Chains A and B, each alone.
Chain A
């Protein structure tokens, strides 16, 4: 495949869109194209960067995010690796120790379990132990609603937000897909970027020519409100916003939607401030509920903003089960708009 050939979106797991569909309006980038552009811009700007992963060079990646990179940057900077996640993540550590800034792609976020030890015991503790910075990025195509089944749909964030030394970001928009990827590459720590596969070609934006960097650790209000607030991230930002619009249209109340954007370190000030402003809180994530990241957010709000609450903090996540394959099962498993609406109505009625 030549550098100029258009990418074919022949991902092994479909995302529900026909192959080849790209950005709509002139100048718009999809979430996927925004990530690709961020990688390309940083590769051009900083010669210390290099990409490692499975099928990323010759094929351009399972989602074609690195399509054409091999031709532009060469085989020493775009490296097809054996299928060995521990080997890939260990390689990132070694290259970072020598002053490079590696960027690893896990073909699917689910596969990161095979490299768990390198991340949580080796990489995450390195700076704390030795004082040596370890700058690298792990890109994680995550999330469900694409009929990926138990091993191509996971949201693995709960494992990693428990590990000091790592950073975890989760863009929900094309702007943040670009800006957080840039910020992750420039960060001097191991940063995990949760890319939502369902958003890859559904989120679109016109990106500025230059200068877009999304600060790690800052939440964003996506939809203003005053009667309740939803703290969420990733795909669920859009589901919560859709429900909030419906509730407003029906006169039930004005629900604010806050996109956490960074899960570790999370924006503690925004949690307190928006709770004080809205008084009712729903913590929503696509990941399963028990032991999920939402528990941390809910507990933090209970500890630091209890006096502002007019109702108990509610949590909503996927059912406590592996991610099922068949569509009726996955639909029932994921947090639906109906369930988000029920949770918000019960909060508003409190």
Chain B
């Protein structure tokens, strides 16, 4: 793709504008948020293409349609806050300071990637940003986020742990166990349910019987809200409120953000269980298109800046992808190495890892893959 080529608009023209709420962000901050969303979408689309070309293998899980939830929620975090993202977590990871080089080396299964080819998808730790891995059993990381939050309390940090999960995971036992213990122990945990309306092919009505998941909040004695996840600023505002509540010692919150998944569960999924009319309506509500339209209305974005952002994002991706592609695949002889800590690990070499004291591991400042 030539950086100068004007990408087609992400959404149909009748995109509704965002809520005119007080977002408290400067123009530069709003544009940075937009650029992270554009980067997320651009990487996502490139991965789809590479998958069709047979250049990436394994599961490719697009998050088209969910960028407003991922980026909006993660934008409410500060340095030192813990992030437990999900598989459709590209935007959240980029927003909280994961790097494109690390992400691509991971997705391409390279030996120098963060899991050295041991795990697929966005299943890697970024310890100095307190971004933690997940397993494919969506829902299991909520109790883990509770443990991290307990550690934050013990270390006396006014930090929070943000966990993303899916609508299907709300049917699991860990959803209940995690929310319950977060509430009982008053832990600084925020659970964002990224409700993309389909758990693989299963509609919400087969996963939960309540009209809105916010209805579960009072049962756990915690604040809960259900909102439109295609409005990135609304998501950010709700999660900011939840983080303020948690930082003040108020305990956990539940945020349900609804946004239709615009692609299949994975790129191997024909996605034919979503009616065409529903999909078209979803595309009209594309979170990128909505945000773009509002930014233009607020005179913060024009054609020239729009093109500049896309050119910057594309060239950044091109360069990172070239670097990741050049990395060697893992060495098959290492398949049974690193099972126990004392064996060492490809990501840090042989031998015992240093164990940190009660003083937390150092947190690096957030460096965003956005902006000039």
Contact = CB atoms under 8 A, between A and B. Distances in A.
Interface stretch (A94-102, A176-184, A202-210, A245-253): A94-102
B78 interface: no
Given A94-B145, A94-B151, A132-B127, A165 B340 contact: yes
Contacts of A84: 143, 177, 180-181
A97 B133 CA distance: 10
Given A98-B152, A99-B151, A89 B339 contact: no
Contacts of A279: none
Contact of A97 (B148, B181, B185): B148
Nearest to B348: A131
B345 to A, nearest CB: 3
B174 A99 contact: no
A342 interface: no
Interface stretch (A74-82, A236-244, A270-278, A313-321): A74-82
Given A87-B146, A90-B174, A98 B155 contact: yes
Nearest to B147: A94
A21 B184 CA distance: 36
Interface string B332-362: 0000101111100111100011011110110
B353 A133 contact: yes
B119 A189 contact: no
Interface string A183-211: 00001110000000000000000000000
B146 A91 contact: yes
Contact of B345 (A127, A189, A265): A127
A81 B183 CA distance: 11
A167 B339 CA distance: 11
Contacts of B153: 76
Contact of B135 (A121, A164, A188, A265): A121
B303 to A, nearest CB: 43
A86 interface: yes
A127 B341 contact: yes
Given A129-B133, A165-B340, A87 B178 contact: yes
Contacts of B152: 98
Interface in B112-140: 114-116, 118-119, 123-125, 127, 132-133, 135, 137, 140
B357 A91 contact: no
B232 interface: no
B127 A127 contact: no
Contacts of B341: 127, 133-135, 187-189
B161 interface: yes
Contact of A99 (B132, B141, B356): B356
The residue in B148, B173, B339, B341 that gathers the most chain A C-beta atoms within 10 A of its C-beta is: B341
A118 B135 CA distance: 10
A97 B114 contact: no
Interface of B: 82, 114-116, 118-119, 123-125, 127, 132-133, 135, 137, 140-155, 161, 173-174, 177-178, 180-181, 184-185, 336, 338-342, 345-348, 352-353, 355-358, 360-361
Given A99-B355, A127-B345, A129-B119, 11 more contacts: A89-B143, A90-B146, A90-B178, A91-B144, A91-B181, A94-B150, A97-B148, A118-B143, A118-B144, A130-B133, A134-B341
The 5 A-B residue pairs with the shortest CB-CB distance, nearest first, are A94-B147, A90-B143, A131-B345, A98-B151, A87-B177
